[in-house]
Chains A and B, each alone.
Chain A
Amino acid sequence: MSPALLRRQLTKLIWGLLLATFDFNLNTLDILPDCVGWFLLASGVKGLGPVLPQLPLLYPLAAAMGAVSVPEEVLQLFGADLWEALPGFLSPAVSLVLQVISIYFFFQLFTDLATLAARLQPEGRRLDRAMRWQRNAHAVLNTAAALVPPSLLQQFENNVAAVVALTGYVLFLVIWGLWCLVSLRAMVPAEEAPAEDAPAPPPGPGTP
Chain B
Amino acid sequence: MTSIWSFLLQTLTVSLVALLLLVLKAIFRDKLSPRWQYGVWVLLAARCLLPAGLAGQGLLPLNGWVEMAKTWAESGLSSAYSGPWTAVTVTSPLPWVVSAPWSVTDWLFVVYCGGILFWLVWFLAGYLRLRRSLTVLPEGDEQVARVARRYGLPLPRVARAPVASAFVCGPLRPVLVLPEGREVDDKVILHELIHLKYGDLWLNLLCCLLRCLHWCNPFLWWVFHRVGNDAEALCDQRVLERLEGEERRDYGRILLSMADDRYARQPGTTSMANGGRNIKSRIQSIARFKRYPRGMALVSLCIVAILAPACLAGSAQASALPAVSDHEARGQLTEDELRTALLRGFAAARSARPSTPAGALDCYAKAVVNNNGYFLAAVSDTGTQRELYETLLERNDDTWEWGNFYLDLGLFPADDPDLTWEERRWSADNLPPYLVMNLTETEEGYSALVVFFYMRVDAESHPHDCYLIHEVALTHDEGGWLVEKMGEREPSLTSALRLLRTVDEYGYLPGLDLAVIPFASQGQFSSSLHIQRQDQFSDETLFLQPSDHSFMICGFGNNLTVSPDLDARFDTTWFNSCLEVRYEGGSLPDEAESFPTGAVALYIGDSCIRSWDSDPFLPAPAEPGETVCLHALGPLRWGGELVDRIQFSCNLYTVGEDGRVALTRLPTQTESLDLTEVIP
Residues of chain A having any CB pair with chain B under 8 Å: 57-58, 61, 88-89, 92-93, 96-97, 99-101, 103-104, 107-108, 111, 132, 135-136, 139-140, 142-143, 146-147, 149-151, 154
Report which residue of A96, A149, A154 has the largest number of chain B beta carbons within 10 angstroms of its beta carbon: A96
Contact between chains at A88 and B320 (CB < 8 Å): yes
Nearest 9 A-B pairs (CB), nearest first? A143-B302, A107-B299, A89-B60, A93-B59, A139-B302, A146-B306, A100-B303, A96-B310, A139-B299
Q: Which of B25-33, B82-90, B178-186 contacts A (4 or more CB under 8 A)?
A: B25-33
- Minimal beta-carbon separation of B35 from chain A (angstroms): 15
The reply on B316 being an interface residue by CB < 8 A is yes
With a cutoff of 8 Å between Cβ atoms, the chain B residues found around residue A154 in the complex are 549
Query: Within the complex, which residue of A58, A96, A149, A151 is in contact with B306, where a contact is CB–CB below 8 Å?
Result: A96
User: Bound complex: CA of A92 vs CA of B28, how far in Å?
Assistant: 20
- Residues B419-445 near A (CB distance < 8 A): none
User: Bound complex: CA of A11 vs CA of B14, how far in Å?
Assistant: 45
Query: Within the complex, which residue of B60, B61, B302 is in contact with A140, where a contact is CB–CB below 8 Å?
Result: B302
A-B contact count (CB 8 A): 70
Task: Offer 22 A-B interface pairs, CB within 8 angstroms, sorted by A.
Answer: A61-B27, A88-B61, A88-B320, A92-B310, A92-B315, A93-B20, A93-B60, A96-B59, A96-B306, A97-B20, A97-B24, A103-B303, A103-B306, A104-B299, A104-B303, A111-B296, A135-B295, A136-B295, A136-B298, A140-B302, A142-B302, A147-B306
The reply on B309 being an interface residue by CB < 8 A is yes
Contact between chains at B299 and A57 (CB < 8 Å): no
User: Bound complex: CA of A28 vs CA of B398, how far in Å?
Assistant: 44
Extra contacts, 7 of them, besides A61-B27, A93-B60, A107-B298 (Cβ < 8 A), are A57-B30, A93-B20, A100-B306, A103-B303, A111-B295, A136-B295, A139-B298
- Minimal beta-carbon separation of A144 from chain B (angstroms): 9
- Minimal beta-carbon separation of A81 from chain B (angstroms): 15
Contact between chains at A57 and B303 (CB < 8 Å): no
The reply on B307 being an interface residue by CB < 8 A is yes
With a cutoff of 8 Å between Cβ atoms, the chain B residues found around residue A142 in the complex are 302
Contact between chains at A132 and B309 (CB < 8 Å): no
With a cutoff of 8 Å between Cβ atoms, the chain B residues found around residue A151 in the complex are 316, 567
With a cutoff of 8 Å between Cβ atoms, the chain B residues found around residue A93 in the complex are 20, 59-60
Contact between chains at A104 and B320 (CB < 8 Å): no
User: Bound complex: CA of A132 vs CA of B299, how far in Å?
Assistant: 12
With a cutoff of 8 Å between Cβ atoms, the chain B residues found around residue A88 in the complex are 61, 320
Q: Name the residue on A nearest B32 (C-beta).
A: A104
The reply on B664 being an interface residue by CB < 8 A is no
- Minimal beta-carbon separation of B323 from chain A (angstroms): 13
With a cutoff of 8 Å between Cβ atoms, the chain A residues found around residue B296 in the complex are 111
With a cutoff of 8 Å between Cβ atoms, the chain A residues found around residue B24 in the complex are 97, 100
Contact between chains at B61 and A89 (CB < 8 Å): yes
User: Bound complex: CA of A57 vs CA of B31, how far in Å?
Assistant: 7
User: Bound complex: CA of A100 vs CA of B295, how far in Å?
Assistant: 17
Contact between chains at A108 and B299 (CB < 8 Å): yes
User: Bound complex: CA of A86 vs CA of B186, how far in Å?
Assistant: 55
Query: Within the complex, which residue of A99, A140, A147 is in contact with B298, where a contact is CB–CB below 8 Å?
Result: A140
With a cutoff of 8 Å between Cβ atoms, the chain A residues found around residue B60 in the complex are 89, 93
User: Bound complex: CA of A146 vs CA of B302, how far in Å?
Assistant: 10
- Minimal beta-carbon separation of B426 from chain A (angstroms): 26
User: Bound complex: CA of A101 vs CA of B303, how far in Å?
Assistant: 9
Contact between chains at A150 and B27 (CB < 8 Å): no
With a cutoff of 8 Å between Cβ atoms, the chain B residues found around residue A149 in the complex are 316
With a cutoff of 8 Å between Cβ atoms, the chain A residues found around residue B486 in the complex are none
- Residues B389-405 near A (CB distance < 8 A): none
The reply on B23 being an interface residue by CB < 8 A is yes
Contact between chains at A100 and B307 (CB < 8 Å): yes
Contact between chains at A132 and B27 (CB < 8 Å): no
Q: Name the residue on A nearest B299 (C-beta).
A: A107
Q: Name the residue on B nearest A61 (C-beta).
A: B27
- Minimal beta-carbon separation of A80 from chain B (angstroms): 18
User: Bound complex: CA of A140 vs CA of B298, how far in Å?
Assistant: 8
User: Bound complex: CA of A63 vs CA of B302, how far in Å?
Assistant: 22
Contact between chains at B61 and A103 (CB < 8 Å): no
With a cutoff of 8 Å between Cβ atoms, the chain B residues found around residue A111 in the complex are 293, 295-296
The reply on B217 being an interface residue by CB < 8 A is no
Contact between chains at A99 and B306 (CB < 8 Å): yes
Report which residue of B298, B302, B315 has the largest number of chain A beta carbons within 10 angstroms of its beta carbon: B302
The reply on B459 being an interface residue by CB < 8 A is no
Contact between chains at B295 and A92 (CB < 8 Å): no
With a cutoff of 8 Å between Cβ atoms, the chain B residues found around residue A140 in the complex are 298, 302
The reply on B305 being an interface residue by CB < 8 A is yes
User: Bound complex: CA of A147 vs CA of B312, how far in Å?
Assistant: 13
User: Bound complex: CA of A93 vs CA of B60, how far in Å?
Assistant: 8
- Residues B10-56 near A (CB distance < 8 A): 20, 23-24, 27-28, 30-32
User: Bound complex: CA of A64 vs CA of B305, how far in Å?
Assistant: 22
The reply on B340 being an interface residue by CB < 8 A is no
Report which residue of B20, B23, B299, B310 has the largest number of chain A beta carbons within 10 angstroms of its beta carbon: B299
Q: Name the residue on A nearest B316 (C-beta).
A: A149
